[in-house]
Amino acid sequence: MSKKNSQFNRLQIYLSAGSHFITDIYQSFIIGLIPVLTLKFGLSLFQVGLLTATGVIAKSFFSPIFGYLSDHQGIRYYLIAGLLLTSVFLSLIGILPNYYFLLAFLFLGNLGVAAYHPASAAIAGHFGGNKKGLGSSIISFGGIFGNSLGALLIILVIEKLNIRFTPFTMIPGLITVIVLFKLIPRTQENNTGNIKHLFSRIKKVNKEKWYRLFLIMLATYSLNITWITLLTYMPLYYTAANISLINIGVILLFFGMLGAAGGLASGFIFDHYKKGSVIIQTGLVLAIPLFFFTFKASGLISIILFVLGGLFLVSIAPVCIRMTQDLMPGNMSLASSLILGLGPGFAGMTMIFLGKAADIIGIEALVKYELILIIFAVILLFSFPLAERGLKIRKFSINKK
């Protein structure tokens, strides 16, 4: 890493956060459109879940591929091309003629998200200096803020203008693409070598490190399956409770914004105390009762519990990314893509089946079953420090020999 990149580079960190904000605005358009599209096309809960699953699978399972390529070829190309693809395809989903076009455009638009996310997350590793946790949280904050605002923004376009005006929302994305083209460095370090070298490095990873990676991935999966389910079905849940579309957008905005603010705090704590597994456990444990009682309460109390649950659930995401980057310091984009890709990807695949389950047992029962998975992840995370201690003992034994 060059000397220039050894310090906290505010321009690159905030540029990544800003472009992450714009990118994630588009990927959350579908959340705001779900009540409208459900009525327009007469969708079942399974079909609604498939919409979300299609987007999540596209942006998730392709993310590690783009993560490897951006490590190898430089992050600039993937930041620019990713945002361009996302802004064009996802701004058009409001005017598509049928459900199948909707699935296709969601898939293509979220391929752009898959290209963008690992490169953006890697900015913290390259330009965060000795504040990589804070850098990761700032970038994550931008994305979560955009993800929170996108649903409200597209609802406002529909309510105040018309659904036919949704294509004009691609304009901020195109402007941001030009800014990235001008300001993102043309070259990045090539840390990965060829793919054979990458696999040879993977083979050398010891079992303690693999186990810790598994625990982080389990926590990420638990986080994402709950997060995706809530964002997919809570707009329908609150619509049934006679809450207006605009107010639902505001609820989702606060849900994400509090989570983003919590992410900044968790990144700061991680930089200072490095107790990542404890931070993750705390966030998950606090989220469980809040989501459980969201469905027991009604009106404003239900909304407050839901939003507070988002604070603790979403706040652990940047810590998961940073812990994975620490396990794979030579492959920042690839490490980021495991958390931004495989965890949500498996959650997206699960959503295909959970959509059918929601048709049978309902939204409330589905979320309660998912909370059991979170409890299981919290229990397993108690073994994280033991695996870390085992790795230190192994290193000490090798050095002693």
For residue 228, pLDDT beyond 70? yes
pTM of the model: 0.77
Measured distance CA(248)–CA(267) in Å, rounded: 29
DSSP string for 66-87: HHHHHHHH-SHHHHHHHHHHHH
Q: What is the pLDDT of residue 352?
A: 85
- Report the pLDDT value the prediction gives residue 3, as an integer from 0 to 100: 47
Max CA pair span of the chain: 72
Residue 199 has pLDDT above 60, yes or no: no
Cα–Cα–Cα angle for 71, 66, 310, nearest 5°? 105
Question: How buried is residue 282: exposed, middle or buried, by Cβ count under 10 Å (0-12/13-18/19+)?
Answer: middle
How crowded is residue 18: how many other Cβ atoms within 10 Å of its Cβ? 16
CATH superfamily of 10-185+193-400: MFS general substrate transporter like domains (1.20.1250.20)
- Which residues, in sequence order, are CB contacts of 274 under 8 Å at separation 6+? none
Residue 186 reports pLDDT greater than 80 = no
Q: What would the two tokens of residue 310 be?
A: 């988002």
pLDDT at 400: 55
Model pLDDT, residue 360:
92
Residue from 57, 370, 363 nearest 222 by CA: 370
Residue with tokens 């030009």: 178
Residue 4 pLDDT level (bands cut at 50, 70, 90): very low
Residues in the chain: 401
- Which carries the bigger pLDDT value, residue 250 or residue 76? 250
| pLDDT digits 0-9 by tens, 51-66 | 989 998 898 888 778 8
Provide the H-helix boundaries in 170-298: 170-183, 195-203, 207-240, 245-273, 276-294
Percent of the chain clearing pLDDT 90 (strictly above): 41
What is the reported pLDDT for 2? 47
Question: Which amino acid is present at 133?
Answer: G
The lowest-confidence range among 42-51, 81-90, 100-109, 186-195 is 186-195
pLDDT for 150 equals 92
375 has a pLDDT exceeding 70:
yes
The percent helix, strand, coil of the chain (3-state, each to 5) is 85, 0, 15
Sole residue written with tokens 């919590």: 262
Calculate mean pLDDT across residues 214-218: 88
Do 150 and 27 form a contact (C-beta atoms < 8 A)?
Answer: yes
Answer for the pair 216, 320: CB distance below 8 angstroms, yes or no: yes
- Residue ranges per domain, the chain? 10-185+193-400
Could you give the 3-state DSSP secondary structure of residue 308?
helix
pLDDT at 113: 92
Q: How confident is the model at residue 296 (pLDDT cuts 50, 70, 90)?
A: very high
Pick from 269-273, 304-308, 396-400: least confident? 396-400
Identify which has the larger pLDDT, 193 or 293. Answer: 293
Instruction: Reply yes or no on whether the pLDDT at 190 is more than 60.
Output: no
Chain mean pLDDT for the chain: 84
Q: With 90 as the cut, is the pLDDT of residue 217 above it? A: no
Residue predicted with more confidence, 327 or 115: 115
Q: How far apart are CA 361 and CA 387, in angstroms?
A: 39
| pLDDT bucket at 120, cuts 50 / 70 / 90 | confident
208 — pLDDT class (breaks 50, 70, 90): confident
Q: Is residue 66 within 8 Å of 115, Cβ to Cβ?
A: yes
